[in-house]
Structure 1
């Protein structure tokens, strides 16, 4: 008896045009897809990182409005000269576009939360949607990198809530980029897919460690004050 022919693997176009972007379709097209890159797993990552960053941004907006009302207001994370949200908020970098930067965060992370919840509820998105999402996340990540460099090397002060946003953006950017490689939103070789599937969380950890190290060595006096 002749064996039935193996099914033809789905291409990226087939996956996004002819199949639903849900766990079943993704599993059929990409059998080695890690749990965190599935629709449900990725949905949780997007929703939770977006929620944490949204809360941090919302608190920053409230603190900024309090400073507008009372220039002498002491913010909730004014701990010392090096760890001071107030110092950061009073810098020109904190309102790069003429209004407080956290307002951008409130709007942007509300969108991120919506996408995450939509994935968890079974929403289906075409390839062009994920390209747009990747573009937005990349721009947001680049903005956070700039804010990190300004806080650490120019303003010489840290904002705890800002650092929370930076951490969430590291997770969101790397996992989004990795998932888009795994699902052919970003065309790539099988070798690269295996690499990002295995090393995604290692890259997240390394980047968090690198940022933490830059902060530690730049503000060593805050952690070990001279006696």
Structure 2
């Protein structure tokens, strides 16, 4: 019996992976954060959350500039107060309000996510730049968290929303770049990035929650 073969494909030769509009091969064995569209969705969601909190902070900051006696929407108690945090020097670490970094940076993250959802192919240098940006954001958020909890002694709910969005954002981008070789890594680290990338985000969440409970035990009374 004759065996029909597809023209142009020799018998026993594996098919090449199809390349999408973005110019990258679809690899179904990769975790969703390592696929362009999966990471794109992740960036859009976390970027929207962080951007919303940043713009709310900007609104409150403008109100304080116009009226020093203004009480922000999250001035709930002496230890939960956006206003108290905004009046600290840490709120203008680089000589201007930190809020402006988020107002500019997070819409850019959203734009990158939308591009990835549309199968935009990004060069390696762009991924390096994105990696640098999210690591800066993560490191800055960790520093601001330590200052708020251990130095200022007050919590800013809007700031905490930004922290909560940046942590998984940075974890996802880092995992993607390890898996795709943008960040040089051995096989063991690549395997960990594939299967356990979310653990890094979870551990940071637990560290933040534990520090807040220890330093602000009154939160348990609510």
Whether the TM-score (by the shorter chain) exceeds 0.5 is yes
Output the CA distance in 2 between the equivalents of 1:80 and 1:191: 47
When structure 1 is superposed on structure 2, of 198-207 and 41-50 the one drifting more is 198-207
Q: Could you tell me which residue of structure 2 aligns to residue 25 of structure 1?
A: 25
Decide which structure has the larger Cα Rg and report it. 2
Output the CA distance in 1 between the equivalents of 2:176 and 2:51: 22
Q: Could you tell me which residue of structure 1 aligns to residue 3 of structure 2?
A: none
Structure 1 residue corresponding to 2:220, chosen from 216, 220, 223: 223
Structure 1 alignment gaps of length 5 or more: 11-18
Output the CA distance in 1 between the equivalents of 2:23 and 2:78: 49
Structure 1 residue corresponding to 2:183, chosen from 177, 186, 191: 186
SS at match of 2:79: coil
Q: Could you tell me which residue of structure 1 aligns to residue 102 of structure 2?
A: 105
Output the CA distance in 2 between the equivalents of 1:170 and 1:204: 6
- Tell me the TM-score normalized by structure 1: 0.86
Shift in CA distance, 222/84, structure 1 to aligned 2, threshold 3 Å? same
Output the CA distance in 2 between the equivalents of 1:135 and 1:202: 21
Shift in CA distance, 139/21, structure 1 to aligned 2, threshold 3 Å? farther
Shift of 1:203: 1.9
Once the two structures are superposed, residues 99-139 of structure 1 have per-residue CA deviations (whole angstroms, 9 ceiling, x without a partner) of 21111101010110110011011111011110111011111
Q: Could you tell me which residue of structure 2 aligns to residue 145 of structure 1?
A: 142
Corresponding residue pairs, total:
212
- Tell me the TM-score normalized by structure 2: 0.88
Q: Could you tell me which residue of structure 2 aligns to residue 82 of structure 1?
A: 79
Shift of 1:223: 3.2
* Equivalent pair of 2:36/2:116 in contact (CA under 8 Å): yes
Shift of 1:221: 2.4
Q: Could you tell me which residue of structure 2 aligns to residue 202 of structure 1?
A: 199
Q: Could you tell me which residue of structure 2 aligns to residue 54 of structure 1?
A: 51
Output the CA distance in 2 between the equivalents of 1:88 and 1:223: 22
When structure 1 is superposed on structure 2, of 95-104 and 39-48 the one drifting more is 95-104
Q: Over aligned residue pairs, what C-alpha RMSD do you find?
A: 2.3
Shift of 1:200: 1.2
Q: Could you tell me which residue of structure 1 aligns to residue 5 of structure 2?
A: none
Structure 2 alignment gaps of length 5 or more: 1-9
Q: Kindly indicate which of the two structures has a greater share of residues assigned to helix.
A: 1
SS at match of 2:73: coil
Q: Could you tell me which residue of structure 2 aligns to residue 121 of structure 1?
A: 118
Output the CA distance in 2 between the equivalents of 1:95 and 1:191: 40
When structure 1 is superposed on structure 2, of 187-196 and 158-167 the one drifting more is 187-196
Output the CA distance in 2 between the equivalents of 1:51 and 1:148: 21
Output the CA distance in 2 between the equivalents of 1:102 and 1:83: 18
Output the CA distance in 2 between the equivalents of 1:63 and 1:97: 20
